[in-house]
Each structure stands twice: as structure tokens, then as C-alpha cells.
Amino acid sequence: MTVTRQVPVRDRTPSPVVTPAIVGHRGASGHRPEHTLEAYRTAIRMGVDDIEIDLVSTLDGVLVARHESELSGTTDVTDHLEFAGRRDTRRIDDHLVTGWFTEDFTLAELKTLTARERLPATRPGNTAYNGREGIATLTEIPAMVHAESMRRGRSVGVMIELKHAAYFDSVGLPLDDPLLIALHRHDLDRPWARISLMSFETGILRRLAQRTKLPIIQLLEAGPSHAELCTPAGLAGIDEYADGIGPHKSPVLPRDDRGAIGEPSSSVRDAHRLWLTVHVWTVRAENRFLPSNLRRGDAPDAPGDMAGEVRALLDVGVDGVITDHPELAVAAARELDI
């Protein structure tokens, strides 16, 4: 069973943290197109403790739920001839990206688009829901979560990831101002509100740490760009402004040269020594995303033993598992009776 404990938050009011938490990654994105209200509702119906959302900005400074600001991978923007002239190439987070970008559209224009499945070859069943929903705003998501929480008699948290923060700063659309204004408007800028703020970028997290009492989570890549932050010295630096870390699952459960998971690293233990929570990402059911020793058969998109990976992560003591397939993670956690 999940429990709620008080975690000290940078010498401030303790924040309630459900641990271990099962978190719906972009909703139940293994079952519905990601970042749609129905994906979030599906995750909540499946029993998640929190949903995870990603936010980017529109031209008029409204925060909307997209994994990235480029639109062609997850919407029908290419079908809208009126927007054909807005296709562009720009550098975002050190990568050249070509497509259509949220920061070139007003909210009213974005609301004419509909969502599509990002991985149609891997998740063809999700394509049945293409075109059913538009792009959700930050304002709409807490209202939906509140309604679902009331309907089900339990509180559901929201983990908010801010995407491309430095890039949006550079184009005059900082993410922290509209974020904090919207949370304040909904009375969600309080430690008990079950809202966490996340980013891979330390700059915006340090800014937010000075402006809000909400828990701050430093997301960590698996590669060399964040290797220093995963060391004990790096974690001590994170502890100066954050309340937790969100590492990729591979440094927590390293894989051998055959791609199988073996002995866990000390990363969870090192973080817990500093009272930093640990939410790992992203656990997915398809073989292509699983360690070799948990795959079932040879088909890359067939389901493997995702529950085995969840159990291994929970055995290490992580505080949360962020997953595309919440129903499998919830069942695995219940089997362990934790």
C-alpha cells in the first residue's frame, strides 16, 4: 500500500509525498495519445498517485501540455494548409529542429489542432483516438484532476515538467511567470497542493526555488551531460535548491553488456542520505524499452515483463516510478504490498 510521509523541503514547511508513487507519464500514454485530458483521466482510473505533464508556451504566453514545442509529431498541424507557411527550422536545446512550434501560435490557433499518437508503429491501438481531443492548457488540467479526485475520493498529484526553459527565456517567453500565476490563481502554490515542479535545466529550478514553496525535482539524463550531478558531490549541490531527483532508470539499475539489469547502483541510497526523493523514468511495457532479461519473445513492440522492472526499482527503494503503463505498475506495487 502507498503511504504519505512528510519530507523536509529545504528548511521549509514539510511537503506531503506519497511513496512509493506510481506516476502516469504524460497520462496513460501507453493507452491514449499523450498529454490529452483522456490520457490523464485514464491514468487516474488506473490508480496512479500522480500524473506527469510537460509544459511549453504559446505565442501569447499560455502554458500548454506538449512534450516538446514542435507540433507535427503529436498533432494534425500538417493537415492545416493555413499554417503551412509557419514551418521553420530552429535550434532548441542544442538540436536543430524542423517543424511547427507552439511559440509561433496563439492559444486560439492551437485550439484548432487535434492530438495524434506520437508512436503509431509501436502503439497502433492508440491511433483509434487520433483527432478526438485538442491541446490541453495548464488551467484545464488541475480542474480535471480536481474533478477526478473528488469523483474517486482520493487526492491525485501533478508533477509538472518545464520544457526548453532556457530557449523560451531567449525568445521572451519565460515559463516560470505564467506557471506561478496560474498555480496561485487556483490556490495550488502551497506545499500541501500535491504539485511538484521538474526540469532538466538547473537554471529555472534555482529561480523557482526562490519563488515558491512547492517541491523542486531535478531531472537527470542517463548520459554524460548529467553524470556529474549523479555523484555524491553533485547530489549535494542539487540539495541546495531541490527536494528530489528524477533520474533515468538506467543509472539506478545499470545494464550489463548484454543489456540485462544486474546489481543496483548506490544512487538511491546516496540521494536518500540527503533526504532527496527519487522518481525514476520512464518505465514502458514494450520489449524495445525493457532490459534484455525482461523481454518476452523477439517482437520489439510486444509486451515484456514490465512488472519485473517495476518490482526491481521498488526493491531498490525509489520513491516513484514514472510509467506509460500505469495499470501494470500499480498491480506490481500491490503484489509487493507496499
DSSP line for 98-120: EE-BGGGS-HHHHTT--B--S-T
What is the structure's pLDDT at 3?
46
Q: Which residues touch 16 (CB under 8 Å, ≥6 apart)?
A: 4, 5, 6, 7, 191, 192, 194
pLDDT digits (tens, 9 = 90+) for 41-56: 999 999 999 999 999 9
pLDDT digits (tens, 9 = 90+) for 203-262: 999 999 999 999 999 999 988 878 788 888 999 999 999 999 999 999 999 999 999 998
Q: For domain 3-68+135-335, which architecture applies?
A: Alpha-Beta Barrel (3.20)
* pTM tops 0.75: yes
Question: CA 249 to CA 221: how far, in whole Å?
Answer: 9
Alpha helices in the chain (DSSP H): 37-45, 107-110, 140-152, 165-170, 176-185, 202-209, 232-238, 249-252, 267-273, 306-316, 326-335
Q: What whole-number distance in Å separates Cα of residue 111 and Cα of residue 123?
A: 25
Q: Which of 11-25, 172-186, 276-290, 313-327 has the lowest mean pLDDT?
A: 11-25
Asked if 22 and 49 count as a contact pair (C-beta separation under 8 A), the reply is yes
pLDDT score of 8 more than 70: no
Give the chain's radius of gyration (CA, Å): 19
The answer to whether residues 220 and 250 touch, using CB atoms and an 8 Å cutoff, is no
Alpha carbons 237 and 270: distance in angstroms, whole number: 13
**pLDDT at residue 18 in the model:** 63
How far from 118 is each of 12, 40, 68, 131, 196, CA to CA, in Å? 40, 16, 11, 13, 25
Overall average pLDDT of the 58-66 stretch: 98
pLDDT in tens, 160-171: 999 999 999 999
Sketch the domain layout of the chain as residue ranges: 3-68+135-335
Q: Which pLDDT score, from 0 to 100, does residue 6 have?
A: 46
Omega cis (within 30) before 282? yes
The Cα angle at residue 98 between residues 97 and 101, in degrees rounded to 5: 90
Number of CB atoms found within 10 A of residue 248's CB: 16
Rounded-to-integer distance, Cα 267 and Cα 103, Å: 37
Check residue 71 and give its pLDDT.
98
> 27 near 19, Cβ under 8 Å?
no
- Looking at residue 14, its amino acid is P
Could you tell me the CA-to-CA distances from 163 to 31, 53, 201, 266 in Å, in that order?
23, 10, 9, 28
Per-residue model confidence (pLDDT) at position 337: 67
Report d(CA 200, CA 56) in Å as an integer.
14
